[in-house]
Amino acid sequence: MPETFGPAFEGQSQPLLSFGLPLTESLVKHADDTFHASRIYIICSRSLARNTTYLDDLKEVLGDKVAGVRVGLKPHSLWSEILEIVEDTRNCDTDLIVTLGAGSLTDSAKIISFALANNVSTHAELDTLMPTSSRKRDDIKPSKVPVVCIPTSLSGGEYSAFAGATNDETGQKHTFSGALKSPALVILDPELATTTPEKVWLSTGIKAVDHCVETLCSLKSDDAADRDARHGLAKLIPGLIKTKQNPNNLEARLETQLGARDAMSAATRGVPVGASHGIGHQLGPAGVSHGETSCILNPAVCKYNYKKGANIARQDAISELLWGDSKAREIFEQKNLNRDTADLGDLMDAIIRALGLPRTLREFGIGEDRLDRIAELSLEDRSTKTNPAPLDKEGVLDILKMVLE
C-alpha cells in the first residue's frame, strides 16, 4: 500500500498522519525528511520490547541517531517517571521523541517535551505548568522538541494538544494544556496493532467511542464536531466488532484506527464532554485502565443524563445511528433489545458486553468505601463540570453506585 501522508485534521497543520508504510520505513523517512533529526529518544512499552522485535528493528534502522531508549512506563503517566525521562532526554540533547506503544506513553511524551521547553526538573516546577495551578507561572513556553507517536491502542491521545498525568505525591490526575503541543506526527500500522492485547485494543476503542458519544451528547457541540463524531462511530463500532471476530483483519484494524482519528477530530474542536470522561479520569489512579473507565461509566452516564432530561433528543439521535449499523444491530437483536424502549445506555451496555469488556467497579476491587473520595476528586475535573446534567457530589455517587456491581 502506498503511503497516505498529510494533516490528520482538516484546517490544522499538525499533527501529521502517515499510514500505508511499515512503521520502520515511515519513521526513517520522516525522521530525515520532515524533522531532520539526529538525536532520537525512543519510549517503548515493556510488552513490545519484551515480546516483539519492533524496538530492535527501530534501533537497527535508525542506527547512531538513537540517543536514548526508555522501556516501560506505569499506567496513568506518573509525574516521577515523566521527570526521570525529562532529565534523560535533556542529557541526551534530544531533538525528536518517538513513542512506540499506547496512551500513557503518548501523554508522557507530550508533557516531557513541554517540560523540556520550560526547564522543569521537579514536581513543584511541573505543577507550575498546569493551567489550573495556583502557582502557574507567567512565562510558559510552548513545547519545542517534536514528538512522533506510533500507537498500539485507540485512546487517541496522539492527536490532542492536552495530556493527563498523575501526581504520585497526591494521587490526583491532572490535565496539561495551553502551550503544550500535540505530537507532530502519528504513524499508523495495523500490523503492529495485532500485537496489542485484545482487551486493551477493544477497551481503548470504547474510549474512542466515548469521545464520539459524549461529543454528540454535549449541549455545546456544533455541526462540525457532530459530523466528525458520527464519522468516528461509523468506523469504530463495526471495526471493533470485526476485530473481535477476527483479530488478524488488518482492514478492520485500520478502519478502527481511522475512526479513533475522527473521534479526536471531534474532541479537538473544543466541545466539552461529560462525566464519563470526568469521573473516568479519577478511576484511573484507583486502578482502572484508561479504556476500561469508559466501558464502566459511559452507559451509566448516558442513563443518568437521560433520566434527568438533559439531552434526550441528542441521545435518541445516537441510538438511531447505532441501530442503523448492521454489526451493532445484530448485537441488539441477540440481546432482545427493542428499538422503541432501549435507550442509549442500554445499547452501549450491549455493545460493551458483546466485546467481553468489564462493566463494574467490583471487577477492579473497588468497593463502596472508596466511592466518596472518587466522587470528591471527580467534582474537580473539568469534564465533570461540563456534564449535560449538572452534577454535585450526590449525583456523582449515584452514577458510581450504578456501576458498583
Q: What is the DSSP string of 70-85?
A: EE---TT-BHHHHHHH
The DSSP letter of residue 140 is: P
The DSSP letter of residue 337 is: -
Indicate whether 103 pLDDT > 80. no
281: CB partners within 8 A, 6+ apart = 164, 173, 175, 293, 378, 381, 383
C-alpha torsion 307→308→313→317, nearest 10: -50
pLDDT given at position 239: 98
- What pLDDT band is residue 123 in, cutting at 50, 70 and 90? very high
Closest listed residue to residue 204, CA positions, set 240, 258, 247, 155: 155
400 vs 84: CA distance, rounded Å: 35
CATH classification code of 197-402 = 1.20.1090.10
pLDDT given at position 290: 77
The structure's pTM equals 0.90
- What pLDDT band is residue 261 in, cutting at 50, 70 and 90? very high
Transcribe 190-255 into DSSP letters: HHHHTTS-HHHHHHHHHHHHHHHHHHHH-TT--HHHHHHHHHHHHHHHHHHHHHHH-TT-HHHHHH
Transcribe 264-284 into DSSP letters: HHHHTTT----HHHHHHHHHT
Averaged pLDDT for residues 281-308: 93
Indicate whether 230 pLDDT > 80. yes
pLDDT given at position 187: 98
Indicate whether 9 pLDDT > 80. yes
Q: Is the pLDDT higher at 254 or at 75?
A: 254
- What pLDDT band is residue 199 in, cutting at 50, 70 and 90? very high
Tell me the three state secondary structure of residue 6.
strand
The DSSP letter of residue 182 is: P
Averaged pLDDT for residues 235-243: 98
Q: How many CB atoms lie within 10 A of CB 177?
A: 17
Region of residue 267 (phi > 0: left; psi between -120 and 50: alpha; otherwise: beta): alpha
pLDDT given at position 266: 87
pLDDT given at position 272: 94
247 vs 245: CA distance, rounded Å: 7
Query: Nine-digit cell at 288?
Result: 482502572
Averaged pLDDT for residues 238-256: 97
Average predicted confidence (pLDDT) for the chain: 95
Residue that has been written with the C-alpha cell 473497588 in this structure: 366
CATH classification code of 4-191 = 3.40.50.1970
Averaged pLDDT for residues 133-138: 91
- 249 burial (CB, 10 Å; 0-12 / 13-18 / 19+) is middle
For 55-71, the pLDDT digits (tens) are: 999 999 999 999 999 99
For 330-367, the pLDDT digits (tens) are: 999 999 999 999 999 999 999 999 999 999 999 999 99
Q: Is the pLDDT higher at 286 or at 325?
A: 325
Closest listed residue to residue 174, CA positions, set 404, 398, 382: 382
Averaged pLDDT for residues 166-179: 89
Phi first, then psi: give them for residue 175, nearest 5 degrees: -110, 135
The DSSP letter of residue 181 is: P
pLDDT given at position 172: 84
Give the domain ranges of the chain: 4-191, 197-402
pLDDT given at position 102: 83
pLDDT given at position 73: 93
